[in-house]
């Protein structure tokens, strides 16, 4: 027979007592958690949420859980009978793959649907909390705040893990709060990237053979060749050059589109940059008896030198292309409302206002035949818009038929 010493017995008793106490503490904590979950279920039910299943609850609370389930079920049936449209509205909110949430006028989160719970990395139950305390994404907090402050919809894109999200803040029409919409646009963004890469690759692949065709055709044009051959060669050179410009423009556009961040800016005096650029166009202007001048000064502005030169070059090129012989093209620099403004003004044919809204779209041309004859690619103004966006600059235009056109770039100075 094994005889236990009194010390060992005392130890066993102490360990048993401790285990029982621990089990009791754990059981109480489980019960407390379960009760808290049940309270949340009842709270959401009182808010009109009818599609609830009470979580399975332990031991003594099981009858209570069953009663809550029964209540939820009855409540849901009553809702369907009494307010079918409300039930369908709730079903829409619940089942839509788009994340939806509502923040009330005091900044407290009132509703978060299932998709919003899945799409965002919440670390705590959000309903009932202040949005500033629990929102897991700064850009979402930004759009909600912006929409609440300005009473205008706000939008930002964000990347969360492997997902691309589009976040919208929309002020509620009755002024009671702000709606947050979270859209998963991962597949759209990736399709867009594939399209961009394809376009960039094709233009890149075309670039080398086209450059070689231009080179050979131009060398041939310098040779003594029969007039009949020259009449074939002239359009060959012109079209090869156009194709080459098209490849360059498409490549430049896809490079600009691929940039997720803005271009690096530096404070630069725009007058010397502009003077040098315009000097390069003087021979071409003189060839068509066009007076090309630079006027005024706008001091220093925040620009990216390459993007600035490319944008102004496109505008001066257009002005010279479309202004008839004997016309005037002026690049005017000025300061307006703390911004540096560069306008390219011509007294050419002007553009009918019906075209203004679409002018900066790719391949939009007022007169396609004339643009092609002038060697245009239809991408110049689209490029100007992208260069400006990448610099945080603005572009606009005014024009009317018969009086000429003015294209205006405006840059921050600070």
Chain residues in the site for ligand ADP (CB under 6 A): 318-319, 322, 346, 348-349, 351, 359, 364-367, 371, 376-382, 405
**Rounded to the nearest whole angstrom, what is the least distance from the CB of residue 177 to ligand ADP in the complex?**
44
CB-nearer residue toward ligand ADP: 30 or 328: 328
CB-nearer residue toward ligand ADP: 79 or 371: 371
Please answer whether residues 376 and 335 qualify as being in contact, where contact means their C-beta atoms are separated by less than 8 angstroms. no
For 179, residues 6+ apart whose C-beta sits below 8 A from its C-beta are 100, 101, 102, 169, 170, 171, 172
Rg (CA), the chain: 34
Please answer whether residues 240 and 213 qualify as being in contact, where contact means their C-beta atoms are separated by less than 8 angstroms. yes
**Rounded to the nearest whole angstrom, what is the least distance from the CB of residue 384 to ligand ADP in the complex?**
7
Please answer whether residues 250 and 195 qualify as being in contact, where contact means their C-beta atoms are separated by less than 8 angstroms. no
**Rounded to the nearest whole angstrom, what is the least distance from the CB of residue 371 to ligand ADP in the complex?**
3
Would you give the DSSP letter of residue 108? B
What's 263-327 look like in SS3?
CCCEEEEHHHHHHHHHHCCHHHHHHCCCEEEEEECCCEEEECHHHHHHHHHHHHHHHHHHCCCCC
**Rounded to the nearest whole angstrom, what is the least distance from the CB of residue 379 to ligand ADP in the complex?**
6
**Rounded to the nearest whole angstrom, what is the least distance from the CB of residue 134 to ligand ADP in the complex?**
47
Please state the separation of Cα 336 from the chain's center in Å.
Answer: 29
**Rounded to the nearest whole angstrom, what is the least distance from the CB of residue 337 to ligand ADP in the complex?**
25
CB-nearer residue toward ligand ADP: 140 or 383: 383
**Rounded to the nearest whole angstrom, what is the least distance from the CB of residue 351 to ligand ADP in the complex?**
5
CB-nearer residue toward ligand ADP: 112 or 329: 329
CB-nearer residue toward ligand ADP: 145 or 386: 386
Of the candidates 341, 276, 345, the one whose C-alpha atom is nearest the C-alpha of residue 316 is 345
CB-nearer residue toward ligand ADP: 181 or 381: 381
Alpha-helix residue ranges (DSSP H) falling in 341-379:
368-373
CB-nearer residue toward ligand ADP: 180 or 376: 376
């Amino acid at each position: 027979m094994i005889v236990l010493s009194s010390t060992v017995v005392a130890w066993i008793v102490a360990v048993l007592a401790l285990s029982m106490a621990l089990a009791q503490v754990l059981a109480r904590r489980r019960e407390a958690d379960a009760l808290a979950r049940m309270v949340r279920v009842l709270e959401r039910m009182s808010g009109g949420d009818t599609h609830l299943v009470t979580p399975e609850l332990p031991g003594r609370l099981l009858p209570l859980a069953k009663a809550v389930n029964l209540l939820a079920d009855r409540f849901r049936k009553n809702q369907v009978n009494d307010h079918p449209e409300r039930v369908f509205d709730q079903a829409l909110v619940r089942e839509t793959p788009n994340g939806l949430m509502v923040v009330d006028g005091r900044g407290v989160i009132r509703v978060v649907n299932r998709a919003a719970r899945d799409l965002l990395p919440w670390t705590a139950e959000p309903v009932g909390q202040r949005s500033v305390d629990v929102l897991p994404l700064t850009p979402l907090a930004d759009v909600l705040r912006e929409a609440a402050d300005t009473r205008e919809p706000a939008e930002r894109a964000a990347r969360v893990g492997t997902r691309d999200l589009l976040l919208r803040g929309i002020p509620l029409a009755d002024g009671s709060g702000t709606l947050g919409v979270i859209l998963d646009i991962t597949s759209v963004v990736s399709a867009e990237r594939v399209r961009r890469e394809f376009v960039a690759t094709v233009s890149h692949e075309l670039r080398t053979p086209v450059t070689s065709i231009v080179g050979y055709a131009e060398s041939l044009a310098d040779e003594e060749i029969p007039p009949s051959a020259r009449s074939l060669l002239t359009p060959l050179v012109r079209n090869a050059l156009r194709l080459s410009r098209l490849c360059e423009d498409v490549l430049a556009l896809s490079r600009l589109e691929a940039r997720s961040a803005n271009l690096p800016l530096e404070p630069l005096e725009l007058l010397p940059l502009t003077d040098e650029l315009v000097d390069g166009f003087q021979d071409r202007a003189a060839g068509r008896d066009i007076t090309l001048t630079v006027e005024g000064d706008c001091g220093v502005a925040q620009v990216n030198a390459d993007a600035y030169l490319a944008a102004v070059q496109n505008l001066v090129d257009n002005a010279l292309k479309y202004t008839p012989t004997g016309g005037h093209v002026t690049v005017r620099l000025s300061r307006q409302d703390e911004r540096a403004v560069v306008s390219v003004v011509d007294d050419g044919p002007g553009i009918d206002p019906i075209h203004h809204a679409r002018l900066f779209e790719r391949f939009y041309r007022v007169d396609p035949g004339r643009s092609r004859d002038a060697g245009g690619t239809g991408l110049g103004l689209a490029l100007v818009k992208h260069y400006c966006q990448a610099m945080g600059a603005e572009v606009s235009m005014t024009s009317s038929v018969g009086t000429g056109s003015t294209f205006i770039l405006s840059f921050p100075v600070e």
